[in-house]
Chains A and B, each alone.
Chain A
Amino acid sequence: MHSARSAARSEGSARAESPRPGLLAALREIVGAGGLLARPEDLLVYEADGLTVHGAKPAAVVLPRDKTEVVRVVRACRAHGAPFVPRGAGTGLSGGAIALDDGVVIECSRMNRMLRIDPENRVAVVEPGVVNADLSQAVAQHGLFYAPDPSSQMACTLGGNVAENSGGPHTLKYGTTTQHVLALELVLPDGALVRIGSATGFPAGSDLVGAVVGGEGTLGIVTEITVRLSPVPEHAETLLGIFPDVVSACRAVGAVIAAGLVPAALEIVDRRTIAAVEASVYAAGLPTDAGAVLLVELDGPAVAVARQVERVRALALAAGAREVAIARDAAERARFWRARKGAFGAMGRLAPDLYVHDAVVPRSRLPEILERVCEIGDRYGLRLSNVFHAGDGNLHPNISFDRRDADELRRVVAAGEEILKVCVEAGGVISGEHGIGTEKRAYLSMVFSDADLGAMCRLRAAFDPDGVCNPGKIFPTTRFCMEANPKARGYERVELG
């Protein structure tokens, strides 16, 4: 069986009842039998999120329909001493949505109403279970869209996006979730319902919204989100540059940024990923002898885009591109993007598991860091490939592996740690868009001092003094953040051998 999860799973199935008698009944009273999942087979899917190597079995999953039910669920959990975790679609990649310590998962998928769309003021008020792409679709008729577009946007929810401060390929120009959230309503860990921020974007007090976005669900359960909508640009063009190697593709990215151009997206796909994509159903007709592919999207007023296309093409050729193609129509644009968006699926078919890493470095360091990342992967004998948001310096080394192979899993984890170290040494950070969760909590001290982490814990203590809201996440050890149940039971760190 899968080594990391087997312990949790067998512990869970051996447990006949919840260790907190009365909790399930209290929850059922609030959400009804149809809104409560507690049978082992129903809980299986909630044992992990998109990071499959970390797992923990929750005591129960509740599916509240509105904020009142969330308040009551939180109060019931507190009354029974159970920690709780908000969960959207479970597409997160850092273990943020798993419930440690026999916690209760509060899944927000039924709270999926768009409460108000105000096209004149370019604002929408939605519940946390609304799917990211659905919002853009709903406001398209007004010439608007919701800008942050994580790769999982067809499935992931806005509540999850708020928790993780999600990015996406277009954050280079449009910013991450935090730049698009104006106000929040949330249930605090003591059961109080509060509103923070302002639909105007100018709150009277501190920027509490800015602090909660990216809080990984440890500061409360978001029940309503007020977001900024952006005008759909008049025109967009997509370019695909074929490069002999990653270094020259990175050089082109540097030249574009230095020229003062701000493309909507600047994505690089490496040789190894191209090979995987071309061997899969996502095949985009890329030359498999290319060293790297650079995808550039330019948007804005048509007259500006037309000039920028020419400038980017010239900069790419000067940097060493073999060829620069411009998408002639929507079909071709989709084909270009398939090389990027199909990468995860293509890599996924190479092995049972895919580990999607996430780190950021100053973009000028990309060529050298990528070389080292590949060297690390090779040294550990791993199938590692790279797709990345080059404009942001955001790397995503992907490792195809089989977690049933204990030795390979150990190598995956060890290589990941080394990659993070290299990125931090280059002036970077250990997560650009996936979050820390359980995945990287042991590594947070690579980036921050104890005093820095202590300052973060003060924020946690202001919102969740007892540490009952998504405990066991983000912080390296239980020295931090006074958690009510510091054992973080049910979760095993992958043994490094």
Chain B
Amino acid sequence: MSAGVGRLVDALGPEAVFLHEPRAVEGAKLEATLRPQSGEALAEMLRVLGEEALPVLLRGGGSRLATANVPCRARVLLETGGLDFAPEIDAEEGVARCAAGGRLAALGAALAGSGFELPLDPPGRDATLGGALAAAAAGPRFAQPRDAVLGLGVVLASGERIRCGGRVVKNVTGYDLAKLFVGSFGTLGVIEWAWLRLVPAPEETRVCVAPFGLDPEEDASALAAARRPSVRAAALADAALLGDAAPGDAPRWLVIELAGDAAAVAADAEALAREHGALPAEAGALERARGAQGAGPLRIRIAARPTRPPAAALRLREAGGEVLAHPARGLAWARFALEGPADERGVDRALAAATRAVSDAGGARRLEEAPVAAREGREVFGGATASLALERAVKRQYDPAGLLNPGRFVGGL
């Protein structure tokens, strides 16, 4: 046990610090694990960690652990799953205050019957709210977690507990700081809880699938289909990703979830059948299509303008990737097989394809999942961003000592 960790035990008490043999996680050598059960405890822990200059690796449900740079320079693992309380649901307002440690599945279940739904659906069964927000994790229905957040409770690296935003649906009272914490991978503060704006549960939901060929020319038609007014999720998946959920032998399938007003859903279903040959499908088809979004070993995300992903998908497919695209959102994921965790050539090949895809399509690529060895020395978040100097200035303000997830974010922040 290092001296710093020893003092951590002295300050927080032996029951709060789980000591273990040095363990390599995400390139970090971790000596201890902290599992705060309350915001107060989290604040106290961060204060002491700061005094002892012991950086932490943050972990929610673990589903986005591999979507970040390595090595992490942390010494202690901080698990946020214990920051949990029963969600405070205000069904009259359509808002809810939820704990960061709450599992999304549990939050969704708690909302059943309220007439509202959780506006987040990233892949990953164990995803926590805090982790999903910190990673700005996109799902097929809700691509922008930032839009769901009305207010946040955050513990800063200094151990200060702050609140930003509020519980009301419209608010310009001071800076919109919540935006800063959503999507910054825990590097600016640890999310403790959130006020979320819920979405009304749709009157009707239907899933259908339409066959598509691999010719990028067909993607314009997929985009038009995905832009019909009742479409809540549209995933254009290579057949391999759908497996036996595919009702035929087309090379690609557009899986569409229609949701909302029953008459509008029926009208869109009819139009999709007429214009795209769409067939009714089971709700599970969408979950199957998410496979590429949710499973390793190597996944790359391309974000481009909506008309651009087709060309990118072609590049990724040429390099052996299985591609899932969300046409109207300009997102595409490619899943690649690797020959073991040290398959450098496999990673290089996939990344080269992604780089070409991005240079064709504009936009950016992100390494969403890869073995630690494959991320070593590579920028997970794509190329240099034009605003890196500003990102650094922001990091210096919120976490000057580099306590929170050091080395994990864009540019090694």
Contacts and interface: CB of A to CB of B under 8 A. Distances in A.
A449 B94 CA distance: 26
A95 to B, nearest CB: 14
Interface string B387-406: 11111011011100000000
A213 B162 contact: no
B363 A451 contact: no
A455 B230 contact: no
A254 B92 contact: yes
A206 B93 contact: no
Interface string A187-216: 010001011101111111111111101110
B397 A461 contact: yes
Interface string A428-445: 111111111000000010
B168 interface: yes
A300 interface: yes
A179 B147 contact: yes
A453 interface: yes
B173 A260 contact: no
A497 B201 CA distance: 52
Contact of B169 (A393, A436, A451): A393
Interface stretch (A5-13, A134-142, A360-368): A360-368
B303 A202 contact: yes
B172 A428 contact: no
Given A194-B390, A196-B387, A214-B172, A452 B162 contact: yes
Nearest to B184: A206
Given A120-B307, A301-B261, A452 B397 contact: no
A164 interface: yes
A171 B170 contact: yes
B43 to A, nearest CB: 10
A205 B410 contact: yes
Contacts of A167: 170, 172
A455 B160 contact: yes
Contacts of A453: 174
Interface in A238-265: 254, 257-258, 260-262
B288 interface: no
Interface stretch (A34-42, A71-79, A83-91, A303-311): A303-311
A207 B179 contact: yes
A486 interface: no
Given A205-B381, A260-B203, A429 B177 contact: no
Contacts of B411: 205
Interface in B165-192: 166-180, 182-184, 188-189
A122 interface: yes
A447 B115 CA distance: 30
B398 A458 contact: yes
B162 A451 contact: yes
Contact of A394 (B170, B183, B306): B170
A279 to B, nearest CB: 30
B48 interface: no
B384 to A, nearest CB: 9
A429 B173 contact: yes
Given A178-B176, A200-B363, A462-B396, A208 B200 contact: no
B281 to A, nearest CB: 22
Contacts of A199: 305, 362
Interface size class, chain B:
35 or more
A360 to B, nearest CB: 4
Nearest to A231: B227
Given A206-B183, A454-B160, A428 B307 contact: no
A474 B177 CA distance: 14
Contacts of B174: 436, 444, 447-448, 452-453, 456, 474
Given A360-B168, A429-B171, A234 B229 contact: yes
Contacts of A211: 175-177, 179-180
Contacts of B254: none
B260 to A, nearest CB: 7
A428 B264 contact: no
Nearest to A393: B168
Interface in A286-322: 300-301, 303-304, 306-308
B92 A436 contact: no
B171 A431 contact: yes
Nearest to B156: A455
A81 B329 CA distance: 45
A304 B230 CA distance: 10
Contacts of A304: 229, 260-261, 263-264
Contacts of B260: 304
B87 interface: no
Interface string A322-342: 000000000000000000000
Contacts of B413: 205
Given A393-B170, A474-B174, A206 B305 contact: no
Nearest to A206: B184
Contacts of A460: 175
Contact of B164 (A171, A261, A452): A452
B92 A258 contact: yes
Contact of A123 (B184, B266, B305, B390): B305
Contacts of A451: 160-162
A454 B157 CA distance: 13
A386 interface: no
Interface string B132-170: 000010100001101100000010100011111011111
Contacts of B164: 452, 455-456
A205 B188 CA distance: 12
A164 to B, nearest CB: 7
Given A206-B394, A447-B174, A453-B174, A201 B144 contact: yes
A449 B162 contact: yes
A431 B410 contact: no
B304 interface: yes
Given A176-B170, A360-B168, A436-B173, A458 B397 contact: yes
Nearest to A197: B387
A210 B136 CA distance: 13
Contacts of B160: 451, 454-455
Contact of B170 (A213, A433, A458, A474): A433
A392 B364 contact: no
A282 interface: no
Given A204-B366, A206-B180, A456 B175 contact: yes
A473 B243 CA distance: 58
A403 interface: no
B391 A206 contact: yes
Nearest to B397: A458
A209 B385 CA distance: 13
B364 A121 contact: no
A429 B389 CA distance: 33
Given A260-B200, A463-B390, 16 more contacts: A122-B306, A201-B143, A204-B364, A204-B410, A207-B146, A209-B179, A257-B92, A260-B201, A300-B264, A362-B93, A362-B95, A433-B172, A455-B162, A460-B175, A462-B397, A463-B393
7 contacts: A123-B305, A179-B147, A205-B413, A206-B184, A211-B176, A301-B261, A432-B168
Interface of B: 90-95, 115-116, 136, 138, 143-144, 146-147, 154, 156, 160-164, 166-180, 182-184, 188-189, 200-203, 227, 229-230, 260-264, 266-268, 303-308, 329-331, 362-364, 366, 381-383, 385-391, 393-394, 396-398, 409-411, 413
